[in-house]
Structure 1
Amino acid sequence: MLQPHGGGSPLFSIIIPLEFHRGQWEQSWLGWTSQTADKSLYEIILVMPPDFTAREELVALAGDAARIEQAGVAHDIGLCAFGAEKARGRYLFFTESHCRPEPDVIELCLRAIDAHPDWAGFSCRSVPICHNRLSVAEAAMYQADIEFGMKQHPWRKVLDQCFVTRRDIYWECGGLREEFGHFAEWVLAAAYHARGHAIGYLEEARFHHYYIGELGELKTFTLDFVRGEIRYLGEARSDAGSELLDIPIEWSRRDNFDVALARSTLAARMRSSHLIHESLESLQRWGPIALAGGRSARGSARISAAYARCVLTMLTMIGSDDSIARWLKRYIASLIHFQRLDCIHGSSETPGAKLPRLGDQVVAQAGFHAPEVWRQRSFRWSEPEAALRIELPQGRNTIRIASPEIREPLDRIGVRFYLDGVRVADVAISAGAFVLQLNRPSSGMAILAWTCPRFAAKGDERRLGLPVAGISIGAGEGANEAPSPAAMMRG
C-alpha cells in the first residue's frame, strides 16, 4: 500500500474550488472529513474566489483540518489550477464543492493506484442528486455523456467532479487553463492521450453530484464551454492532443458568412446562369448573407433557442418527464449552436482564421461542405457556387484546382471561374485539375469564384457542385501540388 512520501508530504491533495457550490459545500466538507482512510494520507485545499461570502463559516467549520487559499480568480477551473500550484501531494484530486464523496473514496483510490500502475490518472463515478423535474432531465442528459466518455470514448476521460492524477503528469500535459473554461477538461484529456498517458475509470469510487435544475445555470455553463472552445480554436494551438479535438461545424464554415465572398458567389451565378431556378436557388442561399453577413443566421439561431426554452419552461409545469427530457436536449443543442455563432462573430481576427484550408494561399473559403474521402483521397464538395479569398503575387500566376472525377469528366462539368468579378478565360484541364493562367497587375488579395450546374447525387440532399482536393498557386506556368490530406482535414 502506498504511503505518504518525503518530509510528511501527503499522498493526495484534495482540491475543492468554492465557486459553483450550489449551497452544498458543507455536505462536501462532511464527506471528506468522514473518510475511512488515514487522514495523514491526504490534505484538503479549499480555494475561495474573491467574492466568496461565507468565509467565516468556512473557517469555523474547517478549522485546522484544511488549508484555505484565497485566489484572485473566480472561475472554478482557475480555482482548481490555483489549488494545483499550492498542492504538496504526489497525486492531485480535483473535485467540486457540490459533490459529496462516499466514505471509502480515498481507500478505493489507494487500491486502484496499487492495482493499476499504468494509470496516470483516473476519474471516479458520478451519482446524481436531483430535486426537481428539470434536474432529473439534466442529470440523465449529462450522465449519458459521462458514461460515454468514461466507457466508450477513446480519450475523453477527465471528469472534474472527481479526477485523480499524478501531479508530475498533470504539469507535463499543461494543466488546467482558466481561459478555456470547462473546455479545458477536454484539452487536458486530449493532451494525456496524445502523450501516451492512460486515464482509467474507477467506477466503485462514488461521488454524489448535485444537479441544480435551473435553465439560467445551464445557459451559463454551456456559454462558458463554448467560449473556451472558440477561444482555443481561434488561437490555432498546436499543443499535444490539439488534433484530437473535434472542429464544430460552425467554426469550419465560419467563412460562409463573409459578405464579400457571398456577394462574389451570387454575382458569379447571376453572370453565368440563364436558368431561373439556378439563380433563385443562389439568391435564396447567398442573398441574406450578401446583405447582412451572419446576422440572419445568428438571429434565426437565437429565435430557435428562445423558442425551445419557452416550450421547455412550460413543460416543466405541465408536461411529462419524457417531453421535458426531449426538449431539454433540443434546447441545449440549439443554445450551443447560437452561442457558437455568436462567439465566432464576437471574436477578433485570430491566427486560427489564417490556418491553411484548401491551400496555403487560401485565406478564406465559402461554399464548401465538410471534408470526406473518395477512393482514399481527401476532398471537399463545393456548392454549385463557391468563392475563395486568395493571396496572389504580381505578374503571371497559375492556379491549380485539383478535382477528382467523382461526377462527369472535368471537361463536361461546365465550370466558370471569375477573379474579382471578371471571367477567367485561360482555363485548361490537366492531370485531374483545372489550371487557370492569369496576369495580376499588383500583388494582394483577390476573390476567385466559380459556378457549375448542381450535381444530383442519389440519396444526398446537399447542394453539390465541384469536388475539390486542393488548390495551389504559383508564379509562371507551373504550380505546386495540392496540400496534404492533413491540411485539408484541419481546415
Structure 2
Amino acid sequence: MGPDWPLFSVIIPLRDHRGQWEQCWLGWTSQTVDRSLYEIILVMPPDFTAHAELKALVAGQARLESTDCVHDIELSAIGAARARGRYLFFTESHCWPEPDVIELCIRAIDDHPDWVGFSCRSLPICHNRLSEAEAAMYQADIDFGLKQHPWRKVLDQCFVTRRDVYEECGGLREEFGHFAEWVLAAGYFARGYAVGYLEEARFHHYYVGRIGELKTFTLDFVQGEIRYLSGDRRDPGWELLEIPHEWSERDNVDDDALALHALNALMRYRGWKRPDEKLRASWRWIAPALFGDLHARVAARLAVAHARTMLTALAVVGSSDAMARWMRRYISSLIRFQRLESIRRTRGHARLAPKLLGDHVLAELGFHAVETAAGHTFRWSEPQAAVRIKGLPGRNTVCIRSPALRAPLDEIGTQFYFDGARVDPAAIDIGCDRYTLNLDLPKSGVATLAWACPVLKGVGDVRRLGLSVVAIDVSQDACDRDQKDSGLSAAISRVR
C-alpha cells in the first residue's frame, strides 16, 4: 500500500439506485473529515443511463469503474478488487451517510482494536404505506442480526472491514447473490474475527415499497442460498448457516418411486390401533406418490397468491398492523415457494447429497433431520419410510442400526417390505440396537427397503416419529461367502 493511498475505499454500486444516487453522492462528499482520507469508487453496470449527469456531478472527485456485470453484489466485489484503501466501506446507491460517519468510523477503529470490521446503523426512509411495512419487517431482521445474533453482522448497506481480512475470508461471492452477505459473515466468525456494530454512525436507507422489488430481492437471496447448499460446502463457517426445512426435507417430496413403497408399507401394515389412523396417514404418501413435489409447489404458489392479494388490498384500505402481518406472511410464503422451485431447478445439477445413512443408501424418503440424544447421532424416520439400497447381487445382510430410544426394538412392532413384498419375520433378527435382515438383492444390486411402525409423538414435538436410525449397512451374507470359499477350496484341492 502506497504512502498516499487513502484509509478508506468507499464502494458504491450504481445498480438499484432507486433514483437516489445523487443524494448518495452528496452524503459522501459532505463528510467532516479531510477528503484525502477516503476515495469513492462508483461501479457502473451497463444499464446505468445517467452517464453525463454523473460525470458532471463527480467532476474528477471519484473513480468511475465500468463493467458488464449487473448484480450489485458483483459490482461491490469488483469495486473491492480495485480499491486502494486499508479499509473497505461497502454501501448502496440508495443509501446515504450522515456527515460525521467517517469521523465516527476512524474513532471506532481506534477505540475497538479487536474489531476487524463493523456495520453502521440503518435508518429507513419511507414514502408510501407499503414501504413502511417493508421497512418495519427488514429493520426488525437487521436489528436482530446486529444486536442479538452471534455472527450475522455484515450489512452491505453500511459495512466497514479491513481489506486483508475481507480477502482472507473469500470476499463477496457474486454467485450467491445477497446470500453472500451471510456466507461472508459466517466466514469472519468461523475464523475468530470480531465484527462490531457502530450504532452512532447512521445511514439513511430508501425503501422503494413495490411488491415486484420485494419478489426480485427475495428470489435473488433464495437462489444464492440453494446454490450455496448445492455446492461443496467446506469453507470455514459453512456449518454455521442454518439449513432450511425445504432443503433438509427435499428427499421427502421428490422421489415418487420411494413414495409408492412407503405408501405400500402403510397400506399393508396391520398394526393400526385405530381405524382412522391409517386414513389420516394416507394423504402423507398419496400426494408425493402420485405427483412428486408438484403438490407441495402448487400449495406454496397458492399461499403466495393469497398473501399477495391480501397485502395489495391492505395497502389501500388496511391498518398498519394488518399490513405488517401480511407482509411477513407474503415474504414467508414467497421464500418457501422460491426454495421449492430453486431446489427443483438445481436437481440433477447439484452435487450428491451427503450419505447420512451410509454409503449403501442411494436415496431415502421419510426421514427427519440429524439430531443427537443419549450419546447417539441419528435421524428419526417417519412411521413409514423407504430407502433405496445397493449391494452385491445375491444374498446380503442388511443391518439397520437403531438405538432403542422409544422402546425395546422387539416391542415396537415394525414390519419390513422388500421391493414391495413383506419380509418374512424368520429372515429378521432383532437385537438390542439393530435390525438384521437376510435379503436376496437382484442382479442390479439395487432394491428398495421400506418399513411401517406405530407412530410415536414426543412431548412438545409435533413430528410423527418412527424408528431412530444411525446407519444402514449392506454386506454380502457370511454364509454365502463361506459357500463360495468352500467351492473354491474344493476346486483347488481337485487341481492338486
Same fold (TM over 0.5): yes
Closer, same or farther: CA 445–43 of 1 in aligned 2, 3 Å: farther
Q: Which residue of 2 aligns with 1:312?
A: 311
CA distance in 2 between counterparts of 1:427 and 1:211 reads 63
Q: Which residue of 2 aligns with 1:301?
A: 300
Give 3-state SS (helix, strand or coil) of 2:117's partner: strand
Alignment of 1:224-303 (within 5 A): 224-257=220-253, 258-273=255-270, 276-303=275-302
8 Å contact kept, 2:408–2:432: no
Q: Which residue of 2 aligns with 1:380?
A: 379
Give 3-state SS (helix, strand or coil) of 2:369's partner: coil
CA distance in 2 between counterparts of 1:296 and 1:113 reads 53
**Runs of 4+ more than 6 Å apart:** none
CA distance in 1 between counterparts of 2:63 and 2:322 reads 46
Q: Which residue of 2 aligns with 1:454?
A: 455
Q: Which residue of 2 aligns with 1:142?
A: 138
Which one of the candidate residues 189, 193, 196 is aligned to 1:197? 193
Alignment of 1:310-389 (within 5 A): 310-389=309-388
Which amino acid letter does the alignment assign opposite residue 227 of structure 2? R
Of stretches 237-246 and 276-285 in structure 1, the one that deviates more from structure 2 is 276-285
Shift of 1:357: 2.0
Instruction: Kindly indicate whether residue 66 of structure 2 is the aligned counterpart of residue 73 of structure 1.
Output: no
Instruction: Kindly indicate whether residue 215 of structure 2 is the aligned counterpart of residue 212 of structure 1.
Output: no
Which amino acid letter does the alignment assign opposite residue 110 of structure 2? D
CA distance in 2 between counterparts of 1:117 and 1:82 reads 27
Summarize deviations over 1:31-87 as a string: whole Å, max 9, x none.
000011111111100001111111111111111100011112100000001111111
Which amino acid letter does the alignment assign opposite residue 148 of structure 2? Q
Segments of structure 2 that go 5 or more residues without pairing to the other structure are: 480-496
Shift of 1:443: 4.3
CA distance in 1 between counterparts of 2:231 and 2:460 reads 38
CA distance in 1 between counterparts of 2:22 and 2:279 reads 63
CA distance in 1 between counterparts of 2:388 and 2:300 reads 27
Which amino acid letter does the alignment assign opposite residue 262 of structure 1? A
Shift of 1:444: 4.2
CA distance in 2 between counterparts of 1:123 and 1:292 reads 46
CA distance in 2 between counterparts of 1:85 and 1:194 reads 23
CA distance in 1 between counterparts of 2:112 and 2:474 reads 53
Closer, same or farther: CA 477–189 of 1 in aligned 2, 3 Å: farther
Percent pairwise identity = 63
CA distance in 1 between counterparts of 2:465 and 2:117 reads 46
Which amino acid letter does the alignment assign opposite residue 211 of structure 2? L
TM-score by length of 1: 0.93
CA distance in 1 between counterparts of 2:376 and 2:118 reads 38
8 Å contact kept, 1:308–1:330: yes
State the Cα RMSD in Å: 1.8
8 Å contact kept, 2:404–2:432: no
CA distance in 2 between counterparts of 1:416 and 1:193 reads 47
Q: Which residue of 2 aligns with 1:489?
A: none
Of stretches 384-393 and 454-463 in structure 1, the one that deviates more from structure 2 is 454-463
Q: Which residue of 2 aligns with 1:483?
A: none
8 Å contact kept, 2:121–2:201: yes
Q: Which residue of 2 aligns with 1:439?
A: 440
Shift of 1:350: 4.0
8 Å contact kept, 2:409–2:431: no
Q: Which residue of 2 aligns with 1:471?
A: 472
8 Å contact kept, 1:187–1:241: yes
8 Å contact kept, 2:120–2:199: yes
Closer, same or farther: CA 107–260 of 1 in aligned 2, 3 Å: same
Closer, same or farther: CA 459–355 of 1 in aligned 2, 3 Å: closer
Segments of structure 1 that go 5 or more residues without pairing to the other structure are: 479-491
Q: Which residue of 1 aligns with 2:393?
A: 394
Closer, same or farther: CA 197–382 of 1 in aligned 2, 3 Å: same
8 Å contact kept, 1:233–1:352: no
Summarize deviations over 1:112-160 as a string: whole Å, max 9, x none.
1112121111111111111111111111111111111111111111100
Closer, same or farther: CA 442–265 of 1 in aligned 2, 3 Å: same
Q: Which residue of 2 aligns with 1:155?
A: 151
Shift of 1:100: 0.5
8 Å contact kept, 2:409–2:432: no
8 Å contact kept, 2:256–2:288: yes
Summarize deviations over 1:372-417 as a string: whole Å, max 9, x none.
3332433322111101123323344322222222222100111122
8 Å contact kept, 2:385–2:452: yes
Give 3-state SS (helix, strand or coil) of 2:149's partner: coil
TM-score by length of 2: 0.92
8 Å contact kept, 2:441–2:447: no
CA distance in 1 between counterparts of 2:251 and 2:364 reads 6
8 Å contact kept, 2:380–2:468: yes
CA distance in 2 between counterparts of 1:190 and 1:456 reads 35
Which one of the candidate residues 28, 31, 34 is aligned to 1:38? 34
Summarize deviations over 1:170-214 as a string: whole Å, max 9, x none.
111111111110000000111111111111111111110111111
Shift of 1:168: 1.0
Closer, same or farther: CA 407–134 of 1 in aligned 2, 3 Å: same
